[in-house]
Each structure stands twice: as C-alpha cells, then as structure tokens.
Structure 1
Amino acid sequence: MAIQEILLDIDLSVGVFQDTIYEDQRLKLRELGHDADGNSIYPATGYWESTPIRIQDKIASFKGVAAQVDVTEGAAYKIYWSTSEDGFEWLEYEEVSSNSAVSKSPAKYAKVKIEIFAEKKYSNFYIDDFKEKGKYNNSFVESDSGSLGLKRIYQLNMKRASDTPTGIVLRQKVENTKFQKVDGIRVSKG
C-alpha cells in the first residue's frame, strides 16, 4: 500500500477565536493595548479552533497529520487535531509535531486547534506623580492636592437675587433629583 501526502488548505478566517484574530492572511494574538514606549501588549495565550472538516470525501484513510507553519515576531505555537465519526462526539486533541505525523484511526471529520503563546518581554508603564496642579481637573475629578481623587466639594455659581443694607442675597436652584445628593451647604463670606 502506497502512502501519499495530501495537502489540505484550512481557512483560518472561520472558526472559534479566543484572544486571536485573523488579519493580513495570518493568525495573530489580539492586541490589548500599548505600553508607555508604544510597544504592543498581547494576552499570554490564545487559540483558534477550526470548524469541523469533512475528510472522508477527500481521502479513504490516513496515517497521520503533519503541519508546516511560518512563525514571526517570536511567538510560540502548538497545533492540535481531533477526529470524529459523526461530527458531534470528538476524541481528545493530540499535538501535531513538525517532524513526525500523529496517528489516529480513520474518521469522517477532523478539527484543528492552534494555540499561540506570546513572547515575554518587559514593558514600561509610567505613573503620573501629580506634581502639576490641576492637570486632571474636570467636573468630577481633581488633582490639586498632589493626588488624583473624586471631587467632594462643588462650588456653585449663585445668582444675585437682591441687595440689602447689610449685604446681598444670592440664590441657587437645586432640582429635586439632586437634592438627595446634597449632604451639606456651606456659605462663606467673600
């Protein structure tokens, strides 16, 4: 009985993606963000799993599976495959090595799983020391005291209602929905 190698193209754009994406004809880990130096940050690991592949129409029986993969940017990977007679109950995944074929009993369906591991590198993250007063100030946050925090005191711009011989009367309207959030009112001279 003669053994012949048959090449099956697998569509990497279809399947189950866990922390991976298919971009520019390549399967990659998805980018989580960037560090302070602009380097990409990736999850530690991710995988892609193919949809079931009907192999009975292509070959009568097979001895095993071997893979050839181009790797860039220092990532590591493992390729697994599983078979099924009915497309519902699958055997456990077995790793496919690049130098030898993995044997399984002939089946009608196969699935491929590719697991990618990110290269470990050191990243720089810079934390602000909040020395520049008011850098992060907005309606709800303040950084005047040398630390970042939520505003607790809100200064309202009161409207001048009337003048009296001893001073002035100022007025501020507070809506019913916001009244429960007010826990104190302080009036200062000024």
Structure 2
Amino acid sequence: MPFMKGPAPVRRTIKYLNSGQLILKDKIKIFSVNYNTFGKHHEGAKEFVFWNIPQVQYRNPNVQVLTLKNMTPSPFVRCYYEDGRDLLVDIDSRSRHEILEHLIKVLGKTKAQLDAEARLAERKDNPANFGYGCDRHCICEIPGQLPCPGTVPLPNHMRGKITHPRF
C-alpha cells in the first residue's frame, strides 16, 4: 500500500482525518499558517502543520489552506474572510495543542452550530428513499418503474411460472 509510506502515515487515514476538531466558520475562505522550520519558538507551529493541517483541509473542503515556510520571524495564522477582512492569530512559543484549542475558540464553529448542522443533515430526505416515513410509499410511484404487482399483474415472463423452450 503506497499511501502507508513516509513519515507518520496514519495522517492519511480516513479515521484520523475525520477526527479533526477544527471546523472553521463559513465566512472564512483562506487559512494560512506562517512558520519557520528552525527555531525553538516555531516548534509548536511546525508540529501543528505536520499533525493538524491535513485534518483542517479534510474537514473544511471549501477553505483554501496555505502553509508558508521560512518567511517570517515569528509564527502566526492569518485567516481571510469572504468580505475582504483578515484576522491575525499569534502562535509564537505555543504547543500544537494550545494552538488548536485557541483556533477552535476563535475561528471554529460553536458546539451549538455543529449540532444544528448535524440535525439538518439528518433531516434531509433523499428522494431515492421510499417506504414508511418517506415521501414515497412504494417504488412504483416513481415514473418509469413497474407498477405494483398487487394492482397490475406482472407479465408472465417475469413471474417465473412459464418456462421457455431452449433453442
């Protein structure tokens, strides 16, 4: 399995990617992390990029995620909103867990918002569903499907009662 090669291949598993806690607000369109690959005060930012950025990208498919390396004296996160504003978050000398907790508090959706979205996603009925509690009682109500055998008898060749001679 080629996807299980490289440093910490667990980062590419679906279970790990789904376990991400940072779900950004809908108004955020660009999420960028600026850090250096050297320096003691950049360690938390470097670990955050390594362990948590894949989760952020997976859980926020409509957000562009950028990582800019070796361009700044101190690490920071900058978020750009859809109306043109931006927000700067200082992550200097913080561990990756502190960074994640702070970003969830500042940029993430609240627990109430996530619960409301989950309830709305559950309620959404798929038009392909039929049966008790759905819009359609039977598949025969969909145009192009065979009618119910209870109302219109099936053709003989579909009943399995008549055998055809073999050629």
TM range (shorter): under 0.3
Specify which structure has the higher proportion of helix: 2
TM-score (norm 2): 0.28
TM-score by length of 1: 0.26
Q: Which has the larger radius of gyration?
A: 1
Q: Taking CA–CA contacts closer than 8 Å with sequence separation of 6 or more, which of the two structures ends up with the larger relative contact order?
A: 2
Per residue, is there more strand in 1 or in 2? 1
